Amino acid sequence: MKVLLVEDDAALGAEIAKALRAENFALDHARDGEDAQHLGETEDYDAVVLDLGLPKCDGVSVLQAWRAGGRTLPVLILTARDGWSDKVAGFKAGADDYLVKPFRTEELVIRLRALVRRSQASGASRLVCGPLSFDPGLGAFERDGLPLKLTGLEWRVLSCLMLRKDAVVPRSQLIERVYDGDADVDSNSVEVIITRLRRKIAPAQIEAVRGHGWRLHADAA
């Protein structure tokens, strides 16, 4: 499941990001309204956690712009504002749920998964690529119809490739998504994970594109 987190508080943002990644969410983190609006308009997300009080452009304005542009992605508003008028403004702008600070990250995870399940109820929720299938709402992979057991890091790499199947995913992007951009990550760590994944799925399905990155495609020969 790919989520956009929009939170300008550094400590809270890091806490939420850590909790979501621990639950195997793929995550982008925007820290102001302008970046959030751009990402929401140009990237595909299964859900958004959106703070209302943001620098440059407030959360309600960001959400209104998304909805005006036809973006229907599920949005959970996260804010310290607990007044009824603020909740009404959020829902009128197009929010799907509302969580007031302080909160438990466990509740945030439950609500996000529920939002995604509801949004996918009317359409196909499962992504398929050759013998692999992925249910973003449940975060579950299958190979040839059987559950695929993955470590946390393997899941993050494969989900990133699956969400961009048939496209080349740069090595730098995988590091950013899997390790939160940690500059101290060993240079061969992603290659090690790719090697382990190839043992668990059809090896030819993950193609190395020299000098660029990796691509997941349906060819399992």
Instruction: Tell me what pLDDT residue 221 has.
Output: 53
Q: Which pLDDT score is estimated for 121?
A: 57
Q: 99, 54, 102: which is closest to 74 by C-alpha?
A: 99
CA pair distance 168, 179, nearest whole angstrom: 19
Cα-flanking dihedrals φ and ψ of residue 95, to 5°?
-70, 150
Collect all residues with Cβ–Cβ distance below 8 Å to 82 and sequence separation of at least 6.
100
Q: Residue 141: what are its φ and ψ, rounded to 5°?
A: -105, 150
- Position 33 scores a pLDDT of 94
> For residue 184, what pLDDT is reported?
57
Question: Where are the domain boundaries for CATH 1.10.10.10 in the chain?
Answer: 127-216
For position 138, what pLDDT does the model report?
67
Distances (CA, A) of 30 to 10, 48, 192: 11, 11, 29
User: What CATH number has the domain spanning 127-216?
Assistant: 1.10.10.10
- CB of 115 within 8 A of CB of 74? yes
- Please give the chain's pLDDT, 221 residues, in tens: 789 999 999 999 999 999 998 888 888 999 999 999 999 998 888 899 999 889 999 999 999 999 998 888 899 998 776 666 777 888 889 998 888 888 889 999 988 888 877 776 544 457 888 889 887 666 788 998 899 998 888 888 898 888 888 889 888 878 777 765 554 566 678 889 999 999 999 888 999 998 889 999 887 65
Per-residue confidence (pLDDT) for residue 98, from 0 to 100: 87
How many Å apart are CA 164 and CA 147, to the nearest integer? 21
**CATH no. for 2-120:** 3.40.50.2300
Q: How far is CA 145 from CA 16, 142, 154, 221, in A?
A: 33, 5, 19, 18
Q: How confident is the model at residue 89, as a pLDDT?
A: 82
For the chain, residues classed under CATH 3.40.50.2300 are 2-120
